[in-house]
Amino acid sequence: MSILIDKNTKLVVQGITGRDGGFHASKMKLYGTNVVAGTSPGKGGMITEFGVPVMNSVHQAVQNEGANTSVIFVPAPFVKDAIMEAANAGIELIICITEGVPTLDVVYAHKYASSKGSKLIGPNCPGIISPGKSLIGIMPGNIFKKGNTGVISRSGTLTYEVVYNLTKEGMGQSTAIGVGGDPVVGLYYKELLQMFQDDPETHSIALIGEIGGDAEEQAAAYIKEHITKPVAVFIAGSTAPPNKRMGHAGAIISSGSGTAQEKQAAFEAAGVPVAKEPSQIPSLLS
């Protein structure tokens, strides 16, 4: 099994006629993802060069093609409306790749999506992959291998580094999820940890965190109380200076809290092994 996406996922790409949307839609389709439609208001009726029908709205994609998942590549000012449109159309899972989305827009759209029963991943994330089944987003599918380790990460590039090392050691992945690096995002550690705990084919979990906020500390407490499967952690930002944002909008140490050292200590106190380097994750899970 896997979590959130599989062979039954029917994907609509919001913003498919844009540069990024079109490029990554073609890559997702080539990987084997069931891309059933794309949307671009006013361009309905087109067919992309890689054979995906373009529609004017997500509602049409749901009605005509049975879409149940969407991925968003529209510019940041239009993301709030795109998330709300997908949720209102009945999309079950919404993955937002776009970066630079105003935080208040995400707060509003996330609340609306939740009220409609939709799950949100992102924004500012690399997406999600269940190797051999479905790829949604911008992840390099060639480094992933089907297997039994779940991966949850705030960092796209560190996801790839950890996955590369897992695959090199013969440890495939059930599902890998980039949750996004913004201060406010959709599904996060606790929800995804529980999904992996409930998935019989996920035998272990790799969690990648970074400085800023207290999500990792909350995850450590949740693991101690609710997760029985092996978990290994890497926290990025050990040398980051206070009050300086490092890469992601959410990666900032403020008022002395949110440091890598505090997060590492929280996991160690919960009995979760912490890697000093991403390459150590496979051995900690073995």
The CATH number for 165's domain is 3.40.50.261
DSSP class of residue 280? G
What is the average pLDDT across 92-102? 97
Write down the pLDDT at residue 154: 93
Q: What is the mean pLDDT of the chain?
A: 93
The CATH number for 78's domain is 3.40.50.720
Out of 24, 59, 203, 248, the active site residue is 248
Same domain (yes/no): 82, 207:
no
Q: How does residue 259 score in pLDDT terms, banded at 50, 70 and 90?
A: confident
- Based on its alpha-carbon atoms, the radius of gyration of the chain, rounded to whole angstroms, reads 18
Q: What are phi and psi of 216, to 5 degrees?
A: -65, -40
Q: Is the pLDDT of residue 50 over 60?
A: yes
248 is catalytic: yes
Q: Is the pLDDT of residue 251 over 50?
A: no
What is the average pLDDT across 212-222? 92
- The structure's pTM equals 0.93
- 133 inside domain: no
Assess whether the previous peptide bond of 126 is cis (omega < 30° from 0): no
Same domain (yes/no): 67, 174:
no
- 270 inside domain: yes
Q: Is the pLDDT of residue 69 over 90?
A: yes
Same domain (yes/no): 86, 180:
no
Same domain (yes/no): 168, 47:
no
| CA-based nearest residue to 141, from 120, 172, 170, 119 | 172
- 165 inside domain: yes
Q: Is the pLDDT of residue 206 over 60?
A: yes
* Cα distance between residue 230 and residue 232, in whole Å: 7
pLDDT above 70: percentage of residues in the chain: 93
Same domain (yes/no): 61, 193:
no
Same domain (yes/no): 262, 171:
yes
Question: For 132-154, how does the pLDDT look when each residue is reduced to its tens digit (9 = 90+)?
Answer: 999 999 999 999 999 999 999 99
Strands (E), 50-131: 54-55, 69-72, 93-96, 119-121, 127-130
Q: Is the pLDDT of residue 246 over 90?
A: no
Domain count, the chain: 2
- 135 inside domain: no
- 115 inside domain: yes
What is the average pLDDT across 85-96? 98
Domain housing 194: 140-285
Question: For 168-202, how does the pLDDT look when each residue is reduced to its tens digit (9 = 90+)?
Answer: 999 999 999 999 989 999 999 999 999 999 999 99
175: enclosing H helix or E strand: strand 173-178
